Structure 1
Amino acid sequence: MRTLSIMGYALAPDVHACVADDRVYFLDAGRDRYCKAGPSASQALIARNKAASTPDNASLTPLVEAGLLTFSDDRRARLRLCTHPSPSDDLHGVRDRRASPRLTDIVDIAWLALLASRRLRRHGFADALRWAGVEAPVTGLRKSAIDELARCVACFEGARTLLPTSPRCLLDSLILRRWCSARGIATAMVIGIRPLPFAAHCWVEHEGVVLNGSKDSVANFKPICVA
């Protein structure tokens, strides 16, 4: 039987975490919930991540019981806390070069919106994240020039305004990432949190460039998950 005092900790499956205002926040994608560790647990996790020291089992046991942490055989393993940097740019400066969507673009995006909504409703947040990140089967994923990005996002935004649903950052980011992936453009979907008052927001980036929104609109959100 393994002794808990010599064991380490790891994030549970589909759980993501970051540090904001000296507290550790969790996104449990499998259960579609956000949680915040208490002061002592946050201090133990932050110290553990910096120095790979053995954390206080008593303060972390509630996080294990809540399904946020799991035991690890490597007692010196560091937690994978999100340290994604702030975006460096956005597409607002190239709006005049954007293209209008074609009829086929509108149909494709409407279909993706239906699929994304169905994934969220039937299978949950974690499954929807995996679905949005499926790579293009033929061309593969690549870096993209700013003009190509602008045209691709313009088609998405133009078609999105025609859908009979109000804008939602989560749904729109799922659709946009899948839309870019189908065109061979590598993107990352970023989910961020704001501690006080608590709020969550998500957006899509390509090489540090925000595609749906502005870098200023996401500046106050601490990335907790990059998918």
Structure 2
Amino acid sequence: MLGELPTTGISYCVCDDRAVFLDVERDRYFCLPSQLNQAFVRTVIDGDAMASADAERLRALGIEDPAPRDFAARRNTHAMPTKEMALSDKASSVLRAGATHWLVQSRLKRWPFARLLAYEQRRAPRRSHNPSTQTLAKLHAAFRRASLWMGEADQCLARSIAFRMLAFRLGFAPTLVLGIKLDPFAAHCWVQSEDCVANDSLERVRCFTPILAF
């Protein structure tokens, strides 16, 4: 389960009975102390009323108005993918893929995380007459080849935003998904077209619980 908290820029998911939060404005993930976590999970999952003392502690963390009806109205379970993009022997412009990846890398260095996400949330796809899955597969192949010189380590966010940018230009409207896993904590990002992973492997993304998707 993932959702966005009312009146805040904080998104959350519940993973293994633990609430994990993404504060976009501060570019950080955080969890709650055990007792407060239990109270929060009971509120968002079971609809239990929260004690006023726990509510005050949450507000001190920037989590406002923690009433069951507020959270229930904002539940948004992002469907996990069930398949991945078939590999293509042909690639669209590898140079364009690499250049777009570099552009996003540059923005990540210069822009606050919140500004970049807000910018991307406003992006709209170009009109296209029935863009084919094969076109998206060729874009996937282009990014795979570009990664040989752009690198793989710690590039999932920049690569996925860049992939989504070019997919929108081709007439697609895929979803950017940020996910997390616990013990040990790790974050990952991928692009999803309906129930299909468009730029990653199904085996990899299945390890993560979505915390933000748009």
Query: Within 2, Cα distance between the matches of 1:173 and 1:152?
Result: 12
Which residue number in structure 2 is paired with residue 219 of structure 1?
206
Query: Within 1, Cα distance between the matches of 2:61 and 2:28?
Result: 12
Query: Within 2, Cα distance between the matches of 1:36 and 1:143?
Result: 43
Cα distance change of structure 1 residues 143 and 202 upon mapping to structure 2, 3 Å threshold? farther
193, 198, 203: which one pairs with 2:185?
198
Shift of 1:77: 1.7
Q: How many residues align?
A: 208
Which residue number in structure 2 is paired with residue 132 of structure 1?
120
Q: Does 1:16 align with 2:11?
A: yes
Shift of 1:223: 1.0
66, 69, 75: which one pairs with 1:76?
69
Q: Does 1:59 align with 2:59?
A: no
Q: Is the 8 A contact 1:53 1:76 kept in 2?
A: no
Query: Within 1, Cα distance between the matches of 2:58 and 2:107?
Result: 28
145, 150, 154: which one pairs with 1:158?
145
Identical positions, percent = 28
Query: Within 1, Cα distance between the matches of 2:120 and 2:147?
Result: 17
Which residue number in structure 1 is paired with residue 79 of structure 2?
85
Which residue number in structure 2 is paired with residue 119 of structure 1?
107
Shift of 1:162: 4.0
Shift of 1:143: 7.4
Q: Secondary structure at the match of 1:77?
A: helix
Runs of 5+ unmatched residues, structure 1: 1-8
Shift of 1:218: 1.3
Query: Within 2, Cα distance between the matches of 1:82 and 1:222?
Result: 13
Q: Secondary structure at the match of 2:168?
A: helix
Shift of 1:12: 4.8
Query: Within 1, Cα distance between the matches of 2:68 and 2:199?
Result: 40
Name the aligned partner's letter for residue 40 of structure 2. Answer: L
Name the aligned partner's letter for residue 200 of structure 1. Answer: A
Q: Which of these two proteins has the greater Rg computed from alpha carbons?
A: 1
The CA RMSD measured in Å over matched residues stands at 2.6
Query: Within 1, Cα distance between the matches of 2:60 and 2:109?
Result: 27
Q: Secondary structure at the match of 1:212?
A: coil
Cα distance change of structure 1 residues 57 and 81 upon mapping to structure 2, 3 Å threshold? farther
Q: Secondary structure at the match of 2:180?
A: strand
Q: Is the 8 A contact 2:55 2:65 kept in 1?
A: no
Shift of 1:183: 1.1
